[in-house]
Every structure is written in structure tokens, then in C-alpha cells.
A and B are shown apart, each in its own frame.
Chain A
Amino acid sequence: MRLNIALLAAAAAAILAACLLGSTPLPPARMLAALGGGGEPGDAVVVWAIRLPRALAAFAVGLGLGASGAALQGLLRNPLAEPGVLGVSASAALAATFTLHYGLAAAFAPLLPLSAVAGALAATALIALAALRTASAVALILVGVGLSSFAGALTALLMNLAPNPFTLADMVNWMLGSVANKSFDDLLLAAPFLLPGLALLFASRRGLSALTLGEEAAAGVGLDLKRQRLLVVLGAGLATGACVAVAGAIGFVGIVAPHLVRPFVAHDPARTLLPSALLAGLFLVVADIGVRVLPTEAELKLGVVAALVGAPLFALIALSARRTPA
């Protein structure tokens, strides 16, 4: 509980900091005035139209990916499971790229999150099916890697066939993952998927505790396995799909956050869920501030930064998982 409050407070502070920092520094007094609805009109635009929605988008995406990662790890009893690693994000990105490619999203805006969610749900269901057939954690991760590569290849094919450089640039944004130029409209479009997804994941959390015993014993203590799988697959599919619809494919966040949180919650998958979501949100808000203030020629993509931090940690976790359970 204290951990959750501390993480929430830190995330709120990071979001405020995100409103302060940037190419035009805004002194705290002016930022707060603009946030409160007063101040100069220019400041209000910077805060309300650019910085706040962008920071909130990063936070929301972190919430979804952190919760999905923690829940998938609990369901599959595998510390390496995560929407990015399992190919769920890549499949959602493929579906979204497809709608962009054919200009469907321009015709009807909700098609973008809808297709991303559909891609994520299909991938999550496939992974859950594969998990039923193999007891091996490594085999399952390999299935995910295969799915991820295949979705990546199809996305590359679409890029190859891109009708013009603008579509291509759009697609690159999706592949790399970014919350730049996000508006409250983008958030509102994703919310109907993200919020129910998070709710389903939280409804599944007591069952995740039971699954630590293995499926047979979890069923023995009274867990409804079918319902549990359905909750997590639907929840992770909806949440991840919504995140991809907002920010494209951002990997490794969902693997690192649960790993860091676990020692503070007695390694209980149920109690890992909320702090993982908050920590991943905090991480993406901070990383996005970094992306914005780093004086690079072209702005770094958030997904690139997340992967630069996350991928080495993934390798470390994989190495230590061979010796002890996470």
C-alpha cells in the first residue's frame, strides 16, 4: 500500500515536471497558472495541448504495459513474459499499420485502436493456447519471439509497399514507439479499451496468486482456470492494444517493472500488479522527459529509449531465472 502511494506520488511529480521542462522552459508559477486555467494563452497551449497530454499518454501506456506484463507473467508463471517479448505489441502494431496503410484510420478514427486491440487479442489468445500445449517456459518465449518476428516481417512488408514517404514515416513511428504530438483526443480514443482492460486484469489478480502453485494445484484450491485465462487474455489484449494504439510498440517496460517490484510485495503476483503498472507509468513519463530534453538532432523515440534500458535487463533476468525463480 505504501509502495503504491509512493509510486503514485512520484508519477504525479514526474507528470508535473514534464509540464515544466522542455524546449521553452516554463517557470513553475506560470506552469501552475496555466494548469489552473489562467496565465498567458501561449502557456496554456503549451501545457494543455502539448505537454500534459503527452505526459499523461506516457503514463497511461506505462500503466497498461506494466499491468499486462505483470499479469501475463503471473498467468504463464514466467518472469520473461511481457506483451513486447511475446509478440502481442508487434501484432497490435501490425494490425494498426495495416489500417494506416489502407487509409482506413483516416476514414474512421476509432478503427485505429479497434484494429490494434484486435491484433493484441489475437496474439494473446495464441500465446495462451501455446502455453496450454507446452509446459516449458523457454519454448513459450520462443513462440512469442517467433510471433514477434513474423508480425515484424509483415509490418516491414507493408512499409516496403508504402504508397508515399508520409505513410512510411507514420509507420516508422509505430514501429519505434512514441508519445510525441499526442492529444487528449488520442487518449479518449484509447480509454474505452485501456480502462476495461485494466479492470479485467485487476479482477484476475487473486487467481494469479493461486497460479504460483501450478495449474493443477491452483484448480485444487478452487481457482476457475478457464475464467482466469479468459480474464488475463482479454485484459492484457485490451490494455496492450490500447497502449499500442496510443504510442506504437514500446517493449520491455512490462518485463522490467514487475521484476523490480516483486521483492517489495513478497513475490506475490497479485500484489505485483498495481505497483508494476504505476512503476512502468512513472518510468515512461521520466523517459519521455529525457527524450524531450536531450539535445539530439532528431528527437529520440520513446520506444528506443525503453528498449535501450529494458533489453539488457531482460537478458539479466533471463540469466538469473535459470538459477532461482524470480
Chain B
Amino acid sequence: MIALHAAAHAPLLRPTSLAVGPGELAVLLGPNGAGKTTLIRVALGLLPATEGEARVGGDPVDRLSPAERARRVAYLPQSRPPAWAQPVRDLAALGRFAHGAALGRLAPQDAAAVDRALAACALEPLAHRPAHTLSGGELARAHLARALAAEAPMVVADEPVASLDPRHQHQVLRLLRDHVARGGGALVVLHDLDLAARYADRLLWMQGGALVADGSVADTMTPERVAQVYGVAARLIDRDGRLHVVVDDPL
């Protein structure tokens, strides 16, 4: 059983404690500069905590080798174009890096994992397209395929739906839900409150470098909290048991 624990203090981060485990899709919310990415980086050991500790699957993250950590958590940072014009399949295959995969000569189990990930992301027709010819949305899906190809128990994704059209936004979140349904865990940064309300099992609200609320959508998604954290007026509309968030005006 792999879970993420971070009880840490780092530059730009006030003492914060967080634990995300299997079987839940936790969405990390907060305005720009709230420290979401910093918290994720501390939790994954990519940024040292000045105090406290981060654990992945029970082990202190600074004691795990980068490859061992990557086999436990697949990390999808904010999407950027790759440096070289590699085909989509090779980008996805980099998700198998921690399993020792070398591009161009994948072991059968690595190739199978890559194929599954490409199929899940509907990328098979684009498998041989060079990365720099992809649209922003296609590139984001290629990165997601890389994270899924790792087949790690936990997925941590930083704004995975940025620059995607609505259809693909839902597609990506459904893929993450499927991952959770199979017993995995996910920690996802989103900026779209409506999507968060629809897909999250749990909301983590950050503001000013600290976690200010942690709970289910029903418990923590309130107009007051949205106003306090984001500084906007919002309405919550319950339509047939599904909560919709409509943002009206900045306060």
C-alpha cells in the first residue's frame, strides 16, 4: 500500500501536513502562488523540507533512490514541450524509465505497459507523430500517457487539464478516476472548481503556503470558502445530486 505523507516546512510553505492514500482522488485547490507545486515537490522529495519529513509508501523519501520513488509515484509536472522531436510513443515510454527501460529496445512488459497507456489516452493514431507537431491538448495527453505507463500505485499530477478543451479535460479526469477505481491513488492540482466538485473524493484547499481545509466536496466546497481562498463570488448549484460551481465576479 503506497501513500504520500508530508508533514513539512519549506521556503514558501508554512508547516503543513498531508496524507493521500490509495482509493482516493484528492484535488489540491488554491490560487496561483498558494504553494501547491511546492507542497507536491516537498512530498516527492524533489525539494528538501527544511523541517519535518515526507514519506512515500511509509519510507522517508530522502532514503529512496529516485528510481524507487518513481516506481511508487508517477509525477506529472506542468506540461512543457519536450526538447527534441521524439515520437509520442517514445515520450510515453519514458514513463518506464524507473523500470530500466531504454528507448528503442523496450522489454516486452515495458512495451505492453506503454501500449496500454497509449490506448487509454486514445493516442494510438498519434503514436509515431513527432512531439513538436502536436497540439497543446495532444501533448498534454502524451504526458499523461507517460505517467500512466509507469503503472505506479500513486499518480501526482500538477494541472493536468491546463490547455485542454472541455472534452479532453473530462477524458483526463476520467482516466485518473479509472486509476483510482483500480485501487490507485491520485493527487491532482486543478484550477477548475466545477471539475474538482465533480471528480474529487476529497478537496485540499491551500492558501498562502498552508493547507486551510481538507475534506469531502460536500463538506468543504462552500461559497464562503471559495470567496476566502480565491477572492471570487461563487454560487453552488445542486442539479440532480450533482454539485456545480459557478463563479460570478471577483470580490
A-side residues, CB < 8 A to B, are 77-78, 206, 209-214, 216-217, 219-225, 262, 265-271, 324-326
Pick from B46, B80, B84: contact of A326, CB below 8 A: B84
* Segment among B23-31, B64-72, B241-249 that sits at the interface with chain A: B64-72
Note all chain A residues with C-beta closer than 8 A to B130: 267
Chain B minimum-CB-distance residue to A210: B97
Chain A minimum-CB-distance residue to B69: A222
Q: Smallest Cβ distance from A321 to chain B, in angstroms?
A: 11
Is B103 in contact with chain A by the CB < 8 A criterion?
Answer: yes
Q: List residues 54-75 of chain B with CB under 8 A from any CB of chain A.
A: 65-71, 74-75
| Given A206-B102, A271-B103, A271-B104, CB of A213 within 8 Å of CB of B94 | yes
In the bound assembly, the distance between CA atoms of A212 and B81 in angstroms comes to 9
Note all chain A residues with C-beta closer than 8 A to B68: 222
Tell me whether A214 and B67 are in contact (CB under 8 A): no
In the bound assembly, the distance between CA atoms of A206 and B100 in angstroms comes to 9
| Given A206-B97, A219-B46, A222-B69, CB of A325 within 8 Å of CB of B75 | no
Note all chain A residues with C-beta closer than 8 A to B83: 77-78, 211-212, 214, 325
Q: Smallest Cβ distance from A139 to chain B, in angstroms?
A: 16
| Given A222-B66, A268-B103, CB of A217 within 8 Å of CB of B75 | yes
Pick from A220, A266, A268, A270: contact of B76, CB below 8 A: A220
Note all chain B residues with C-beta closer than 8 A to A271: 103-104
Chain A minimum-CB-distance residue to B78: A216
* Segment among B10-18, B85-93, B172-180, B193-201 that sits at the interface with chain A: B85-93
Tell me whether B103 and A209 are in contact (CB under 8 A): yes
Tell me whether A212 and B66 are in contact (CB under 8 A): no
In the bound assembly, the distance between CA atoms of A271 and B102 in angstroms comes to 9
Q: Smallest Cβ distance from B88 to chain A, in angstroms?
A: 11
Tell me whether B65 and A224 are in contact (CB under 8 A): yes
Note all chain B residues with C-beta closer than 8 A to A213: 80, 82, 91, 94, 143, 146
Is B20 in contact with chain A by the CB < 8 A criterion?
Answer: no
Does more than half of chain A's interface fall in helix, strand or loop, or is it mixed? helix
Q: Smallest Cβ distance from B114 to chain A, in angstroms?
A: 13
Tell me whether B70 and A214 are in contact (CB under 8 A): no
In the bound assembly, the distance between CA atoms of A317 and B81 in angstroms comes to 19
Known: A222-B65, A325-B83. 17 other contacts (CB 8 A): A209-B102, A209-B103, A212-B82, A213-B80, A216-B46, A216-B77, A221-B74, A222-B66, A222-B71, A223-B97, A224-B65, A265-B104, A266-B86, A266-B90, A266-B103, A267-B130, A271-B104
Chain A minimum-CB-distance residue to B85: A267
Chain B minimum-CB-distance residue to A270: B103
Note all chain A residues with C-beta closer than 8 A to B131: 325
Is B187 in contact with chain A by the CB < 8 A criterion?
Answer: no
Pick from A220, A266, A324: contact of B104, CB below 8 A: A266
Give 19 pairs: A residue, B residue, CB < 8 Å, sorted on A.
A211-B83, A212-B82, A212-B83, A216-B77, A219-B46, A220-B74, A220-B76, A221-B70, A221-B74, A221-B98, A221-B146, A222-B66, A222-B98, A223-B66, A223-B97, A268-B103, A271-B103, A271-B104, A325-B82
Pick from B44, B65, B86, B98: contact of A268, CB below 8 A: B86
Tell me whether A326 and B85 are in contact (CB under 8 A): yes
Chain A minimum-CB-distance residue to B86: A267
Note all chain A residues with C-beta closer than 8 A to B143: 213, 217
- Interface-centre pick from B81, B84, B95, B98 (highest chain A CB count, 10 A): B84
Q: Smallest Cβ distance from B54 to chain A, in angstroms?
A: 14
Q: Smallest Cβ distance from B65 to chain A, in angstroms?
A: 7
Tell me whether A269 and B84 are in contact (CB under 8 A): yes
Note all chain A residues with C-beta closer than 8 A to B95: 221
Is B117 in contact with chain A by the CB < 8 A criterion?
Answer: no
In the bound assembly, the distance between CA atoms of A213 and B68 in angstroms comes to 19
Note all chain A residues with C-beta closer than 8 A to B104: 265-266, 268, 270-271
Is B168 in contact with chain A by the CB < 8 A criterion?
Answer: no
In the bound assembly, the distance between CA atoms of A325 and B83 in angstroms comes to 6
In the bound assembly, the distance between CA atoms of A223 and B82 in angstroms comes to 16
Note all chain A residues with C-beta closer than 8 A to B150: 221
Is B116 in contact with chain A by the CB < 8 A criterion?
Answer: no
- Complex A-B, nearest 10 residue pairs according to Cβ-Cβ distance, in ascending order: A222-B70, A222-B98, A220-B75, A77-B83, A222-B67, A221-B97, A267-B84, A216-B77, A267-B85, A212-B82
In the bound assembly, the distance between CA atoms of A269 and B94 in angstroms comes to 12
| Given A209-B102, A214-B80, A216-B77, CB of A224 within 8 Å of CB of B66 | yes
In the bound assembly, the distance between CA atoms of A262 and B150 in angstroms comes to 26
Note all chain A residues with C-beta closer than 8 A to B90: 209, 266, 268
Q: Smallest Cβ distance from B80 to chain A, in angstroms?
A: 5
In the bound assembly, the distance between CA atoms of A51 and B187 in angstroms comes to 64
